[in-house]
Each structure stands twice: as structure tokens, then as C-alpha cells.
Amino acid sequence: NEVLDVLEDKRFELTPTSDLQEFLSIMKDDRRTANIDNDILQLIFERLREKRVAKRDDDKQSDRQQRRAVEDLRALLKRLDPPIVLGDTFEKVRPRLLKSEEFQAVNSEDLR
């Protein structure tokens, strides 16, 4: 898509708060998109902005799910039987956790 190419070339990052006039100005200044009708550009702008909002919301949801998964894993660690003792290493405890849903729900090894 030429509009996306122009945005990338101009290093314009479209956000939910981006200004339509600035977007139109960038599009009209580039020969690849200068002939596109303003109404079409406005529709493209709205669609791209909606996608950014949806992506941001998805990212927030994913972050929330990971925080809950980490909290669930911490709760599991507290109730393990036999309990974890102060001298235990992660490598020693990890095999006991591998099959648990709480451990598998955490996507990042760093968060585990």
C-alpha cells in the first residue's frame, strides 16, 4: 500500500491521537499519494487509527493476562508440597512446576 509506504518513509507513526490534517499534509506532499482524494485519505486514516486502537487494546489485554498468570504461578509456588526451602534453586524446583497450568501459562522465561 502506497499510503503505508509514505508513512514509513516519512517516519510518521499513526497513533489513536494522530491529527488528520498532519496525515493529509504528509500524503499531499508525496508524489505517490498526492492524487488520492481527500475523502479516501480520510477513510484510510480512520481505518489505520482504528487498527492502532485495536492493537493497543489487544496488547493491554495480553499484558493483563500475563500479570494474572504470574500471580497464579506465585500462588502455586507458595502452596507447593513439599514446600520450597530457602536453599532451593530454580533448576531444582523447575521440574516440579513444568506440568502445572500456572507455569505453562507464563509465556516469558524471564517472568518465570
Under 8 Å between Cβ of 41 and 75? no
For the stretch 52-65, pLDDT in tens is: 999 999 999 999 99
Q: How is the chain split into domains, by residue range? A: 2-105
pLDDT on residue 5: 96
- Distance from C-alpha of 93 to C-alpha of 78, rounded to nearest angstrom: 12
Q: Give me the residue label for grid cell 513444568.
A: 98
In sign, the C-alpha dihedral spanning 65, 69, 94, 90 is positive
User: How does pLDDT run across 57-96, given as a tens digit for each residue?
Assistant: 999 999 999 999 999 999 999 999 999 999 999 999 999 9
pTM given for the model: 0.61
**H-type helices in the chain, by residue range?**
2-9, 20-29, 38-79, 90-97, 101-105
